[in-house]
Amino acid sequence: MRCEREHEVKDLLGRGHWPQASGEELRVHVAGCGKCGDLVMVSQAFRGARATAMQSAPAMAPGLIWWRAQVRRRQSALEQIARPVWGAQIFALAVTVLLGVGLVVVETRRGFDWQKGAQALHLEALLPMGGDGLEMVLLAACVGLVAVLGGVVVYLGMERR
């Protein structure tokens, strides 16, 4: 059995206008009608429970929310920067290793005396006295320069993307 005023009461409850916006005549009806009375009682019980739950929930300060958002934003920005730098470092390392291996292979084919080469790596080889030592230093400088330039090129290319 439905009450013909139930819809009206439900509408007021849904909009949160009960009992302020209801007329005196409707309030008298709800007090007398079991169906509408139950509807109002259940709805107000739910509303009260929700209000107490909202009050007991710890409200986060707006400053804290803002600070957390800033930290999250900064972390994602750092991750975006770190990725290309990491890639450039790997590329530079790969180029250095490849050039080093290539240098060893070429020098061995040309009949490079490794004992003499080891002597050339001593500190006195840095002084431009022995031709072999100077050649080694220049080659090492060239390999380093190429590796650094390769890393810079890869970094710039990734940044433009």
Scanning 31-39, 127-135, 137-145, 146-154 for contacts with Zn ion by CB under 5 A, the matching segment is 31-39
Q: Which is nearer to Zn ion, 42 or 142 (CB)?
A: 42
Q: Which stretch binds Zn ion (CB under 5 A): 2-10, 18-26, 42-50, 139-147?
A: 2-10
Residue selected from 33, 103, 134, 143 as contacting Zn ion according to rule CB under 5 A: 33
Q: Output the smallest distance, CB 36 to Zn ion, in A.
A: 3
Q: How far is CA 32 from CA 14, 35, 40, in A?
A: 21, 9, 12
Q: Would you say 3 or 140 has its CB closer to Zn ion?
A: 3
Closest to Zn ion by CB, 2 or 122 = 2
Site for Zn ion in 62-121 (CB under 5 A): none
CA distances from 74 to 54, 60, 62, 84, 159 (A): 31, 21, 18, 17, 18
Q: In this structure, what DSSP letter does residue 121 have? A: T
In terms of CB distance, is 9 or 147 closer to Zn ion?
9
Residues 6+ apart with CB under 8 A from 13: 39, 40, 43, 44
Q: How far apart are CA 9 and CA 12, in angstroms?
A: 5
Binding region for Zn ion (CB under 5 A) out of 25-33, 70-78, 80-88, 106-114: 25-33
Does residue 155 sit in helix, strand or coil? helix
State in angstroms the smallest separation of the CB of 48 from Zn ion. 22
5 near Zn ion, rule: CB under 5 A:
yes
The alpha carbons of the chain give a radius of gyration, in whole angstroms, of 40
- Options 12, 13, 36, 39; binder of Zn ion; rule CB under 5 A: 36
- Cβ of 82: how many Cβ atoms within 10 Å? 10
Residue that is written with structure tokens 């060239």 in the block: 142
Q: Which two tokens stand for residue 137?
A: 């230093």
Encoding tokens for residue 155? 């970094």
Q: Choose the binding region for Zn ion from 34-42, 56-64, 65-73, 90-98 (rule: CB under 5 A).
A: 34-42
